Amino acid sequence: MHRILFTGPESTGKSEMARLLAEKYDTRWVPEYAREYLEQLGRPYEEADLLHIAQGQLALESRLAPHANRLLFVDTSMLVMKVWSEYKYGRCHPWILEQLHRRRYSLYALCGIDIPWAPDPQRENPNERQELYEIYRRELQVLGVSFIELWGSREQRLEQMHEAIKGLNG
């Protein structure tokens, strides 16, 4: 099975891409666990919550993976947790860093910031998109993984993904 990861700043189409591609390929996608966690939290999140979110994200991915059909589209990962934690708090829990280096994906897709920002109560950084994009790009390079950058309309991004997925299957 190929795990395909979408990453990047907030409001760049990660969830939409994962959902649409899962529908197209008749398989599963892993939503962002942080949304569920934060909706049920009942208070502003704190640094300690990020570890719980990270653990929940990996547990959700593990639960959904056996139900995938050759491809599993993943909305977020430990890379998002690392960037979020370091950007907001200046550090990252060692467990998150360990998981980031342990878990690998067949394809990494960095979502570009050329689509409009969509307001959402859980989003925090509408004016830092370029800065965050560069952080994600640099982190992917440091990880030493190959990745594609998705730019353009929804249709253009989907086409880029279809081509990349064809490449996975040789």
**Mean of the pLDDT values across residues 149-154?**
96
Question: 48: which 2 tokens?
Answer: 């300690």
pLDDT per residue as tens digits for the range 16-57: 999 999 999 999 999 999 999 999 998 999 999 999 999 999
Q: Residue 157: exposed, middle, or buried by beta-carbon count in 10 A (0-12, 13-18, 19+)?
A: buried
- C-alpha–C-alpha distance, residues 36 and 54, integer Å: 12
- 47-67 burial, b for 16+ CB within 10 Å, e for fewer? eeebbebbbebbebbeebeee
| Residues spanned by the domain of 139 | 2-168
Residue 118: the pLDDT is: 81
140: confidence class by pLDDT, cuts 50, 70, 90: very high
The count of domains in the chain is: 1
Percent of the chain with pLDDT over 90: 91
Task: Say if residues 79 and 48 touch (Cβ distance below 8 Å).
Answer: no
CATH number at residue 47: 3.40.50.300
Q: Tell me what pLDDT residue 170 has.
A: 60
Mean pLDDT of the chain: 95
State the average pLDDT over residues 57-83.
97
Check residue 34 and give its pLDDT: 94
| pTM assigned to the model | 0.94
Which strands form 71-74's sheet, in the order they lie side by side?
A: 28-30, 71-74, 2-7, 107-111, 147-150
The mean pLDDT of 99-112, rounded to a whole number, is 96
First to last CA, the chain: 14
Q: Give the model confidence (pLDDT) of 1-18 as tens digits.
A: 999 999 999 999 999 999
Q: What is residue 127's predicted lDDT score, i.e. its pLDDT?
A: 82
Q: 125: pLDDT confidence band, cut at 50, 70 and 90?
A: confident
Each residue's pLDDT tens digit, 157-166 = 999 999 999 9
Distance CA 30, CA 134 (A): 24
Query: How far is Cα 12 from Cα 108, in angstroms, rounded to an integer?
Result: 14
